Amino acid sequence: MNNLKDILYKVSIGQVFGNTNIEINNLVFDSRKIEKDDVFIAQKGVSVDGHLFIEKAISLGAVAIICEDFPSDTKEGITYIQVPNANEALAIMASNFYENPSSKIQLVGVTGTNGKTTIASLLYQLFKKAGYKVGLLSTVKIMVDDIEFKATHTTPDSVTINSYLDKMIDAGVDYCFMEVSSHGIHQKRTEGLKFTGGIFTNLSHDHLDYHATFTEYRNVKKQFFDALPKSAFALTNIDDKNGNFMLQNTKAKKKTYALKTLADFKTKILEKQLSGTLISVDGTEVWTKLIGVFNIYNLTAIIATAELLGLDKLEVLTIVSELESVSGRFEYVVSNNGVTAIVDYAHTPDALKNVLETINDIRTGNEKVITIVGCGGDRDKTKRPKMAHIASQLSNQAIFTSDNPRTENPQTILDEMEKGVSAENYKKTLTVLNRKQAIKTACKFSKNGDIILIAGKGHENYQEINGVRSHFDDLEEVKNCFN
């Protein structure tokens, strides 16, 4: 769709200057990327106000401006449209521009603090194995059926989302599974999308740098369910303290899953091993390669979703036993001398606690558990002491190191982590600023039977220091040490 007037359908509009009956080239919110005949959308960002770049956008060829505040001088021949919320306007325009691709596909969104990538990726795998064409928008990668694209965000901006959904329609995709982050909801990246279903995983401490309080973070997550249509399903983890709250005001069909509480979809754990877990679903026993109670929650959500989308229950359970774990989520290698190294994306206190409890659950008792962990720079600082406490409390040895210090001083991050270590655990901790050295140190300390957990970076293949990303891969590093 190229006519601006059509693209503005359903956008809440204030004042208009100029002609809206014009053909446009593209929707662009970054002045540096403007081309001839584009519409520039001025967003009030976290670090800068996009309204400052309106003139720049016009000089590069923008023919229309979407803004919250009119500039003091308007230019002849340019269309100015004032909107109450530019992020929301952008999202609705993006849907219109690509002819509402979300209404032509079965789109399911996954939200919650942890487990989004795992659930979305495993649903992608499951539906592929069931013979469908499938799409995926995740932290790790974007898939348009078999074609892979690089992901830059967990939930991309609304233009990017709709452009990929459009590609999926062209490729004949039936189902798309996407992660819905709290930043995404708050910045209206998913506004205007038509969801067939929504899944809530859990809520725990994260992103309190961005959201002022935990309550605000929780309310933002709830907005996703508030916006679901009546035709959709809203599936929630009822064992989570906030599971019920999320569905309080939704119009969608409410469905629940659980391991403990009475629920529409319930799974029981029968046996835990390092190679997998035996579960029982409505009396049917299923073996899965996934490890950890948290992953059985993820799996229960997946089984429930597949059923809610109409797949045959027996077929679903058969495929579940074939699902492979997601890259960087509890991925492990064993050295020639019997040391196990686990790479996991645990970057929140709750995730780290779950992974370490899982390891402690399956260990035999005599071996050492060594945890290597850091905390990201320019991110929630209050996570730092908590994660250090958990690592030192639940391991025999904790090595604190760098994890994407970004623009912060890496030593300062380590100092803030150390503040969370209690006096009795202090002797179990060590700080090694350089992540490569930290991994080497753990390998040197370990012997047959020991378990090394390398937490926080999972699938990431870079270390970001001072805005520069250099190649770094935890799994690659530990394999090198093992050889």
Ligand X SMILES: CC(=O)N[C@H]1[C@@H](OP(=O)(O)OP(=O)(O)OC[C@H]2O[C@@H](n3ccc(=O)[nH]c3=O)[C@H](O)[C@@H]2O)O[C@H](CO)[C@@H](O)[C@@H]1O[C@H](C)C(=O)N[C@@H](C)C(=O)N[C@H](CCC(=O)O)C(=O)O
Ligand Y SMILES: N[C@H](CCC[C@H](N)C(=O)O)C(=O)O
Binding site for ligand Y (CB under 6 A): 154, 347, 376, 379, 403-404, 456-457, 460
Report the site for ligand X in 145-164 (rule: CB under 6 A). 153-155, 157
Question: Which residue intervals of 419-464 are DSSP H helices?
Answer: 435-445
Give the one residue of 68, 157, 166, 344 binding ligand ATP; rule: CB under 6 A. Answer: 344
- Residues sharing a CB contact under 8 Å with residue 209, sequence separation 6 or more, in sequence order: 378, 379, 380, 381
Residue 47 binds ligand X (CB under 6 A): yes
Taking CB under 5 A as the binding criterion, the range among 171-179, 188-196, 393-401, 406-414 that sits at the site for Mg ion is: 171-179
What letter does residue 38 receive in the DSSP assignment? Answer: P
Give the one residue of 115, 184, 197, 374 binding ligand ATP; rule: CB under 6 A. Answer: 115
What does the buried/exposed string (b/e) look like for 45-69 if buried means 16 or more CB atoms within 10 Å of the residue's CB? eeeeebbebbeebbebebbbbbbbe
- Minimum separation from the CB atom of position 253 to ligand Y (A): 30
Residue 257 binds ligand X (CB under 6 A): no
* Pairing assessment for the beta strands 175-179 and 106-111 based on DSSP bridges: parallel
First to last CA, the chain: 56
Taking CB under 6 A as the binding criterion, the range among 116-124, 311-319, 366-374, 471-479 that sits at the site for ligand ATP is: 116-124
Residue 457 binds ligand ATP (CB under 6 A): no
Residue 164 binds ligand ATP (CB under 6 A): no
32 annotated to a ligand binding site: no
Give the one residue of 190, 298, 395, 404 binding ligand ATP; rule: CB under 6 A. Answer: 298
357 annotated to a ligand binding site: no
What letter does residue 269 receive in the DSSP assignment? Answer: E
Instruction: For residues 178 and 142, give the distance between their C-alpha atoms in angstroms, rounded to a whole number.
Output: 9
Residue keyed to tokens 């965000």: 153
Report the site for Mg ion in 113-152 (rule: CB under 5 A). 116-117, 139
Residue keyed to tokens 């994660």: 387
Instruction: For residues 386 and 417, give the distance between their C-alpha atoms in angstroms, rounded to a whole number.
Output: 8
- Minimum separation from the CB atom of position 450 to ligand X (A): 30
- Minimum separation from the CB atom of position 44 to ligand X (A): 7
Nearer to ligand ATP, 50 or 376 (CB): 376
Query: Which tokens belong to 435?
Result: 């992540």
Residue keyed to tokens 């958990």: 390
Nearer to Mg ion, 166 or 460 (CB): 460
List the one residue out of 361, 343, 372 whose CA is nearest residue 293.
361
Query: Which tokens belong to 52?
Result: 């400052």
- Minimum separation from the CB atom of position 297 to ligand ATP (A): 5
- Minimum separation from the CB atom of position 49 to ligand ATP (A): 27
Residue keyed to tokens 């959500």: 301
- Does an H or E element contain 294, and which? helix 293-308
**How far, CA to CA in Å, does 139 sit from each of 78, 85, 169?**
38, 26, 21
- Partner that binds at residue 32, options ligand Y, ligand X, ligand ATP, none, CB closer than 5 to 8 Å by kind: ligand X
CA torsion angle 240 245 248 250 (round to 10): -70
Nearer to ligand X, 29 or 400 (CB): 29
Under the rule (CB under 6 A), what is the footprint of ligand ATP?
114-118, 139, 154, 179, 181, 201-202, 294, 297-298, 329, 344-346, 350-351, 354-355, 458
Under the rule (CB under 6 A), what is the footprint of ligand X?
29-32, 43, 45-48, 50, 53, 153-155, 157, 181, 183-184
Binding region for ATP: 112-118
Under the rule (CB under 5 A), what is the footprint of Mg ion?
116-117, 139, 154, 179
Binding region for meso-2,6-diaminopimelate: 379, 403-406, 456, 460
